[in-house]
Structure 1
Amino acid sequence: MNIAPEVLQNPATGIAGLAQAQPANATGNNKLDQDSFLRLMTTQLKFQDPFDPLDNQAMVAQLAQFSSVAGISEMKQSLSEIASILGNNRLSDAKEWIGHSILVPGNISVADKNGQYSGEFELENATDNLSIDLLNEAGEIVMFVELGQQEAGPVEFNFDSKNENGEPLDQGRLRVRVNGGSISNLATWVPVASVKTSEANGPPILVTPIGNVFPAEALKVG
């Protein structure tokens, strides 16, 4: 069966002979991968005008270019995955956190190697009688400080815990209670004891006296 040249060369078909093969309601995913490109090229060869054949060199060059682009795309994806793994999961980098303290959101404070309980918060309004208590698990006040009049803004606190000989004293986990003002963004400094891996190639986990913390949760590093 011969195909009329005027049908093959009709610009309304876009690619020779393909318009009549597509139903009016045809849909696609608008994605041209390498397999689709090869099918398209084969169709072009099949329905090309015998009096005006497609240029072989041009088609080979086009195929080579498509393969190069596809290869670069795959390589970029692979490099992105590798970068993600190296950026989030390298224990060699995370181990540098050991021995340092990190500022994390919460109201539980622990002593560092010097026996200091530290943290900070945002005072939302000015006050005349701001005070801070540190309470043990029984709800008893272990340490407190009277700050008195304070303007709105960031407030830092630091309790120095020592024994009778002036040596650092670890009194365990203490709860921070702020009195006399409305506060937000309460956070405390906690030391990083060790680092461990997480499941499913997730980021490393920082082990602290108040529990496990992801590096992304740390507000500051000291």
Structure 2
Amino acid sequence: MTTTSDIFQTSSTNYAGLTQAQPENATGDNTLDQDSFLRLMTTQLKFQDPFDPMDNQAMVAQLAQFSSVAGISEMKQSLSEIAAVLGNNQLSEAKEWIGHSILVPGNISVADKNGQYSGEFELTSATDNLSIDLLNDAGEIVMFVELGQQDAGPVEFNFDSKDESGQPLDQGRLRVRINGGSASNLATWVPVASVKTSESNGPPILVTPIGNVFPAEALKIG
């Protein structure tokens, strides 16, 4: 049976419709697409030994293998294009969050544009003397509130920070401390300053004063 290599080895003879092989030091495109593969197989069939023709099953197997590889390559390209589109859509949607605040788990509170420090938590049991403190990096109490008797359940807090003229006052990052009760699921509202892309077409990243946050980590948006 005449093989593909046999065709190129005997290509110095100018058979009708057969292109002369390039010299060994020739350069060119080394890729083999589906059209090139089919032309090569057609040439092979055309010049095969009629007394020892190519086995039908072998030919079908070659076609199936090439089609499978080509299909995987095209699917990979399609998935990459879809991922790029989805990534752009996610970034476009996330940009709409700029200027808003998001509720994220944690005990660090920052002021919004109105100078408000706010958040919420779950009080696991009733208490008679609940209070909340906001502390600076030195551990000093900057603001506090006495809530007194509270039933078990969700509790929201909001501190209004103003200067002497009544203008919003940003006092930086403050730590939330809960006294007189057992609390869980503490979360604070933080403003979204900007949005940036992540690597490998991943989800966009929301940039906040307490650090970077993925949209999936936000409990609420306000």
Amino acid at match of 1:207: V
TM-score by length of 1: 0.65
State the Cα distance separating 1:93 from its structure 2 match.
2.2
- Match runs of 1:122-137 below 5 Å: 122-137=122-137
CA contact (8 A) 2:102 2:191 kept: yes
Say whether 1:214 aligns with 2:214.
yes
Aligned position for 2:120: 120
CA distance in 2, matches of 1:74, 1:125: 59
Say whether 1:86 aligns with 2:85.
yes
Q: Give the root-mean-square deviation of aligned CA atoms.
A: 3.1
Q: How many residues align?
A: 168
Q: Give the secondary structure class of the aligned counterpart of 2:163.
A: coil
State the Cα distance separating 1:77 from its structure 2 match.
6.1
CA distance in 1, matches of 2:175, 2:57: 78
Q: Deviations over 1:78-102 (max 9, x none)?
A: 5554444433454322211110101
TM-score by length of 2: 0.65
Aligned identity (percent) is 78
Q: Deviations over 1:98-136 (max 9, x none)?
A: 101011110000000000001011111111111100001
CA distance in 2, matches of 1:143, 1:167: 16
Say whether 1:149 aligns with 2:149.
yes
- Match runs of 1:117-196 below 5 Å: 117-196=117-196
Q: Deviations over 1:174-211 (max 9, x none)?
A: 00000111111111000011111222322211111111
- Match runs of 1:67-106 below 5 Å: 79-89=78-88, 90-106=90-106
CA distance in 2, matches of 1:86, 1:221: 24
Unaligned runs of 5+ in 1: 1-41, 47-58
State the Cα distance separating 1:76 from its structure 2 match.
6.5
CA distance in 1, matches of 2:131, 2:181: 9
